[in-house]
Structure 1
Amino acid sequence: MKILVARMNHETNTFSPIATPLKSFGDNGPLYGTEAYVASKGTRTGIAAFIDILEAAGHEVVVACTATANPSGSVCAKAYTHLCDTIVAAAKGCDAVALDLHGAMVAENSDDGEGDLLERVRKALPNAPIAVALDLHGKMTDKIINNSDIVISFKTYPHVDMYETGEHAGRLLVDMINQRIKPTIAWRRLPLILNTLCSRTDIGPMHEAVKLARAAEAKGILGASVLAGFALADIAAPCISVVVVSNNDQAAAEATAQEIADYIWTNREGFIYKNEPLAASIARAKDLAAAPGSGPVLLLDHGDNCMSGGTCDDMNVLHEALKQGLEDIVVGPICDPEAVAQLIAAGLGVTVTLPIGDKVPLTQLDITNPPRLLTGVVSKITDGQYVVSGPTYTGQRIHMGRTVCLDTPQAKVMVTETPQEHWDLGIFSHIGIDAPKHRFILLKSRMYCRPVFVPIAKALVECDGGGVTGADYSRFPYKKLDRPVYPFDSQTTWK
């Protein structure tokens, strides 16, 4: 058979001030056709698994595009329409479809980015089997369910099973094509906005919910997924969902979906994060640093996390740390192209005083922090490139743009031209910073840093500096949210 394959990934924070034009989807925009195939093949992604599974089964793979952007604000209407048009056009003449999507895409012209795309694909290929691989932080809608035959999401956060999820969905698609299975879907969406910090799958109720999903699959269910949703999207229902795929057994699918959903609702308190005031977090970190043990204390500025749409230039956590007298801090990257240019112009070894960070107004939260001055010596300048050693995106070369280290009396401040996640210690070692040897490491990260940085640290403190990825959702001006919803409405009920 001729099978359409495509990747379209974006986790949309509708409160983020960062625009998402077409060029955001890749190093310089999406890749198409043969280029998309070559770039995807051999990677640890869902689309790579689709290619491997389908080619191994003897099918012809037609790759429409690969388009993935870091989390940011709503996708520009022209970009979204272009990507959907590209995928739908490539569907002509195909017999089946495998899509590597996110599940939390919101565009200027679509609150249900994946559902609206799938509706168009189904209209173009009304009889074709359609399999979808989704991120754990996807939301679920009627359009996604009604226009898909197979829906499978990640089961890990931090995410390390992107390929395995594509492999799972691809394997079921091949079985459906060969008439070995007849997929039937049941789903539940709960009126529960889950905090992203409570969606980690190694501990807590999310771990137990995913454990129930795995147990159902072990007993014969074709696929069971727990999708945390994405609370930083102002849409009707950015809520947690359960999706179950059975083999021609609607009753089994319904019962399994209900069992997992009942567990989630019963344990809903465990999905709500108890946010701590920033000053208290920094004071606690100071005490932990003075306690016995070796290694740095991690300060995770989850309120300005680029992998959820943060600007990476909010300086509240650093300045609170400086105010409370913390010393020997490594911090970065701070995204401030203007400061990078000024520091490079000043030159190595020169002492400078300049404003760093706080350059991007958080307009939807009505926050504008005036830039604050830092004084230090320009100690290093690099091209901002390093290669990830693992475990996430192993072997991928990271391009941060020009990067500068400013040595201040209390902190080594790494400033870059682009926002970055902390995939690897190379983010610091590439510029000559041996992060594990310092007293504090301040990262603009929520979860992806943990596999690398937690093992070298003696303690971790989560800090909310008040940016657009913060955990206090009462600060966010939702306008489209369906109410009642927990925890905003404590008397919310669900059956």
Structure 2
Amino acid sequence: MKILIARLNHETNTFSPVATPLPSFHPSYGEDAYQASKGTRTAIGAFIDLAEAAGAELVVPVAASANPSGRVAAAAYTALCDAIVNAAPGCDAVMLDLHGAMVAENSDDGEGDLLARVRTVLPEAPIAIALDLHGNVTPAMMAHADIAVSFKTYPHVDMYETGEHAGRLLMRMLQQGMRPALAWRRLPLVTHTLRSNTGEGAMQRAVAAARQAEAAGMLAVSVLAGFGLADIAAPCISVLVVADGGAAAAQAAADQLAAQIWDERAGFVYDSEPLAESIARAAQLAAGDGEGPVLLLDHGDNCMSGGTCDDMAVLQEALRQGLSGIAAGPVCDPRAVAALVAAGVGASVSLPVGNKVPLTQLGIFPVPPTLSGRVAAISDGEYVISGPTYTGQRIRMGRTVLLDIGAAQVVITETPQEHWDLGIFTHIGVDPLAQRFLLLKSRMYCRPVFVPIAKAVVECDGGGVTSSRYAQFPFQRLARPVYPLDAETGLEAPAAV
């Protein structure tokens, strides 16, 4: 038995100005791809474990994953897909670790077009895919996959478990001759990422219902919130069901859960508070009872949704309102880093920081603010994550500088970064617990680490390319009407696909 296993992950924000060339994926090939993936808490790691336990011969042509950013360069998309497709001949089954929301310069349906190519080469081989909870499911994806399972957590902590789930079902197809039915239902509902937290609200209830359906006999039930910052036909929420045999039962389960989601559609919409009000509220919370810093989550410029990480709106408003005791960043500004490194530790400086990447599609051309202060520290920008996400992984931010401007200590890096760990501050000498405010360019992944030490959390929308204010995004390809961008009058859930 010969099984093709590969990973190709990218969540595409088509409005992001951050480029996505091949090096962004840090691809590894062949034996290197196998070694890089074996033993990891990822879907591909689970695939490898299952295939090896079954005594199969593994073909691992590529493992590639890039942070969310703009459309994948055509050459990169083609090269990575070619690596998978060219390895397919002669394989008996396929297990792919995909995201589900990849858009390339030459494909609006990155995963669907890849699966169609694989299916052409292997018309009879079973194909299982593991998807991110924020995947945008398409007809092509469903037409060419036999099994599809997505994460059930956000923040995502069940990547391995999802791969194990999908892979286990594929093994039943190979070893027991099971012929699953795959059903799905997509709703005209573009959700906000801040409402896909599986620990609360409508999304929590939807995932609970999915688990109940599995307990009642469905092989796998997934709720994919979708990724709304993709200008494609339907970046919408979907329900996927895998059943043993009965297509009608699978579709009924998908329709029932989709109806629950549609009834609670308002629970998937996030209303952004005006930034000035958010900062004023944070100041009041900081003055109240309790210990720890107030978190200012700059979710409009979140690198894990394609943000530039150089938007300065939240910091500027905080300084305008007189907040102090702030640790902020990282702000991605390679030019500022170079100038500060050249100045050296202890130097007094005055220079433009941030706001250097124009948000062209949004018509936003920010002016870099001038910050004056002292170069407090310089580091190589490396630390090791202590958990719970990506535990043990070494983070490399590029050269990193701490600029002390009095009211704030600003961490400036050469690359965009997510707040996986307190090490993002402690590695350069900043004690997060000693701050009144922590300004983080994050919306969700920071929470397992930073919320436990915080007095309060204030979500701040500075209006960048990961904002929840969808009205500011010039959608051209989105099929209308769709909730909540359009009025509900005449908008009904569609019939089953």
> What TM-score, normalized to structure 2?
0.98
Q: CA deviation at 1:131?
A: 0.2
Post-superposition CA distance 1:297-343 (Å, at most 9, x none):
00000000000000000000000000000000000100000000100
For 1:407, the aligned partner's letter is: D
- Counterpart of 1:442 in structure 2 is 439
Residue 270 of structure 2 corresponds to residue 273 of structure 1: yes
Post-superposition CA distance 1:194-228 (Å, at most 9, x none):
00100000000000000011111112211000001
Q: CA deviation at 1:180?
A: 5.0
Give the secondary-structure state (helix, strand or coil) at the position aligned to 1:178. Answer: helix
In 2, the alpha carbon distance for the partners of 1:177 and 1:442 equals 50
- Counterpart of 1:254 in structure 2 is 251
For 1:101, the aligned partner's letter is: L
What residue ranges of structure 2 are gaps of 5+ in the alignment? none
For 2:2, the aligned partner's letter is: K
For 1:5, the aligned partner's letter is: I
Post-superposition CA distance 1:201-257 (Å, at most 9, x none):
000000000001111111221100000110000000000000000000112101110
In 2, the alpha carbon distance for the partners of 1:166 and 1:239 equals 23
- Counterpart of 2:66 in structure 1 is 69
- Counterpart of 2:119 in structure 1 is 122
In 1, the alpha carbon distance for the partners of 2:47 and 2:217 equals 22
Mapping for residues 132-151 of structure 1, pairs under 5 Å: 132-151=129-148
- Counterpart of 2:493 in structure 1 is 494
Residue 379 of structure 2 corresponds to residue 363 of structure 1: no
For 1:47, the aligned partner's letter is: I
What residue ranges of structure 1 are gaps of 5+ in the alignment? none
- Counterpart of 1:177 in structure 2 is 174
- Counterpart of 2:285 in structure 1 is 288
Residue 18 of structure 2 corresponds to residue 18 of structure 1: yes
- Counterpart of 1:5 in structure 2 is 5
Q: CA deviation at 1:482?
A: 0.2
Residue 222 of structure 2 corresponds to residue 225 of structure 1: yes
Q: CA deviation at 1:179?
A: 2.3
For 1:493, the aligned partner's letter is: E
Mapping for residues 202-213 of structure 1, pairs under 5 Å: 202-213=199-210
Matched residues, percent identical? 68
For 1:445, the aligned partner's letter is: S
In 2, the alpha carbon distance for the partners of 1:219 and 1:45 equals 27
Post-superposition CA distance 1:108-167 (Å, at most 9, x none):
010000000000000000000000000000011110000000000000000001111001
From 103, 106, 111, the equivalent of 1:109 is 106
- Counterpart of 1:417 in structure 2 is 414
In 2, the alpha carbon distance for the partners of 1:378 and 1:494 equals 56
Residue 33 of structure 2 corresponds to residue 44 of structure 1: no
Give the secondary-structure state (helix, strand or coil) at the position aligned to 2:104. Answer: coil
In 2, the alpha carbon distance for the partners of 1:62 and 1:248 equals 29
In 1, the alpha carbon distance for the partners of 2:363 and 2:378 equals 35
In 1, the alpha carbon distance for the partners of 2:268 and 2:67 equals 25
Mapping for residues 148-167 of structure 1, pairs under 5 Å: 148-167=145-164
For 2:405, the aligned partner's letter is: T
For 2:6, the aligned partner's letter is: A
Q: CA deviation at 1:57?
A: 1.2
Mapping for residues 314-463 of structure 1, pairs under 5 Å: 314-463=311-460
From 207, 232, 236, the equivalent of 2:233 is 236
Q: CA deviation at 1:64?
A: 1.1
For 1:45, the aligned partner's letter is: T
From 164, 187, 191, the equivalent of 2:188 is 191
- Counterpart of 2:297 in structure 1 is 300
Number of aligned residue pairs? 492
Q: CA deviation at 1:181?
A: 2.4
In 1, the alpha carbon distance for the partners of 2:360 and 2:354 equals 16
Give the secondary-structure state (helix, strand or coil) at the position aligned to 1:413. Answer: strand
In 1, the alpha carbon distance for the partners of 2:248 and 2:55 equals 34
In 2, the alpha carbon distance for the partners of 1:473 and 1:113 equals 23
In 1, the alpha carbon distance for the partners of 2:373 and 2:46 equals 48
| Structure 1 stretches of at least 4 aligned residues deviating more than 3 Å after TM superposition | none
In 2, the alpha carbon distance for the partners of 1:136 and 1:355 equals 38
- Counterpart of 1:245 in structure 2 is 242
Higher mean displacement: 104-113 or 250-259:
250-259
In 2, the alpha carbon distance for the partners of 1:390 and 1:419 equals 20
Q: CA deviation at 1:92?
A: 1.2
From 477, 480, 483, the equivalent of 1:483 is 480
In 2, the alpha carbon distance for the partners of 1:426 and 1:258 equals 45
Q: CA deviation at 1:91?
A: 0.5
> What TM-score, normalized to structure 1?
0.99
Q: CA deviation at 1:488?
A: 1.3
In 1, the alpha carbon distance for the partners of 2:96 and 2:426 equals 37
In 1, the alpha carbon distance for the partners of 2:254 and 2:434 equals 48
- Counterpart of 2:85 in structure 1 is 88
In 2, the alpha carbon distance for the partners of 1:305 and 1:87 equals 30
For 1:125, the aligned partner's letter is: L
